[in-house]
Amino acid sequence: MSSPLADFLAAKLAYEIDVLDVAQGMKMGDFTVVDTRKLASWEHGHIVGAVHVPVSALDVPLPCGLPIDTPLVLYGWGPGCNGATRTAAVLVAKGYSVREMIGGLEYWVRSGLTIEVESGLSTKAADPLVSAEH
């Protein structure tokens, strides 16, 4: 017999995904990654291969090619940003399957994963407090 807490935790794990699992899933082509931040933030740096769908664009038709039949993984800036959650609510209402990348771009970078910046690709050393080895 499950408890409300067990149900909540199972639902949370089904909805949230961490940055290392996203990186692995991207290699396998398991989903489309969506950056929900404003344009200036996107231009400052984003996950390589991500699609840009800022929260502010949700009142207009979604970008051509955003697949309805492929799960989407949404991210914002970091733990203090709820743009991915707001975008997820709209996309779920439109019939999309979504997950939210916990930690956002902040933890992607802190984990030593590559981002695309104006000058090319950028990878910083992994923060030892969040690296996969700890």
Give the domain ranges of the chain: 4-122
Over residues 44-49, the mean pLDDT reads: 97
**Confidence band for 56, pLDDT divided at 50, 70 and 90:** confident
**Prediction pTM value:** 0.89
- Which uninterrupted H or E stretch holds 4? helix 4-15
**Is the pLDDT confidence value at 28 over 70?**
yes
92 CB contacts (<8 Å, ≥6 apart)?
98
CA–CA separation, 78 vs 30, rounded Å?
22
The DSSP output letter for 38 is -
Query: What local confidence, expressed as pLDDT, does residue 72 receive?
Result: 96
Q: What is the pLDDT of residues 77-125, one digit of tens each?
A: 999 989 999 999 989 988 999 999 999 999 999 999 999 999 999 999 9
What is the CATH number assigned to the segment(s) 4-122?
Answer: 3.40.250.10
